[in-house]
Amino acid sequence: MEYNFLKIERKGAITVMMVSAPKSLNALNSAVLKEMDDFVSHLDESTRVLIVTGDGEKSFVAGADISEMAHLGEQEGFEFGRLGAQVFRKIETLPIPVIAAVNGFALGGGCELAMACDIRIASSNAKFGQPEVGLGIIPGFSGTYRLPKLVGQGYAKEMIYTGKVIRADEALRIGLVNAVYEREELMGKALEMAERMLANAPLAISAAKQSINEGYDLDADAAIALENKLFGKCFTTQDQKDGMAAFLNKQKAVFNGK
């Protein structure tokens, strides 16, 4: 599929997916979401870390495209919301780490896209919010599900009910982002984090992600049982054998994802 709204850059085992619709501050319409869905569904198997960002200096993703939503009826609204939710769920469940490098506005669907990623880092000019109630709607791409998990119900309800937009330093304080950097440092820091991940066993990272994501909604006993199962499965991999042998021999491990 040819992409009109995505720019894809590969840096070895790291892939950068940049949402690129500068005239609308990278707003998400059906066409953008379908391109994103295609890209994620056919992600190159050599990719071990995905970085998601936005084109330009002002915006990560400014939100969903209001010019499209303004004319939707109930069923069309449902289908638009479901499309966005399904795409973001695919991103969330990729078996590799996904880093959101938030370089400006992350409002509405943009905030929801960032929350679907494993880790969020932001530029100092980034702004986050779920301002949908000011348009007569609610967050539609799983924001009411993910935001409370990240920042707690009280703060999530305040953000959603008031539509308040918060700056990067506030997002850091409440745990919505992991770190804040100057704009010109952001992508370098994202790539640096990705490189640190590449130094570790890819199958172990995948298992850790599965354990965290799937265990989060389970009760304690079930979550621990899941971790035990995945922990044991790691011992069937060559990466485990190579990693522990390298440690015992005081060498640097080289992992092949097997």
Q: What is the pLDDT of residues 27-75, one digit of tens each?
A: 999 999 999 999 999 999 999 999 999 999 899 999 999 999 999 999 9
User: Is 112 a residue of the active site?
Assistant: yes
Question: Exactly one of 132, 182, 192, 214 is catalytic; which is it?
Answer: 132
Q: Which domains does the chain have, with CATH numbers?
A: 6-198 (3.90.226.10), 202-248 (1.10.12.10)
Question: Exactly one of 45, 68, 92, 112 is catalytic; which is it?
Answer: 112
User: Is 68 a residue of the active site?
Assistant: no
Q: What is the pTM of this model?
A: 0.96
Residue 176 confidence (pLDDT): 98
pLDDT(208) > 90: yes
* Tens digits of residue pLDDT in 131-169: 999 999 999 999 999 999 999 999 999 999 999 999 999
SS (H, E, C) the chain: CCCCCEEEEEECCEEEEEECCHHHCCCECHHHHHHHHHHHHCCCCCCCEEEEEECCCCEEECCECHHHHCCCCHHHHHHHHHHHHHHHHHHHCCCCCEEEEECCEEECHHHHHHHHCCEEEEECCCEEECCHHHHCCCCCCCHHHHHHHHHCHHHHHHHHHHCCEEEHHHHHHCCCCCEEECHHHHHHHHHHHHHHHHCCCHHHHHHHHHHHHHHCCCCHHHHHHHHHHHHHHHCCCHHHHHHHHHHHCCCCCCCCCC
pLDDT level of residue 16 (50, 70, 90 thresholds):
very high
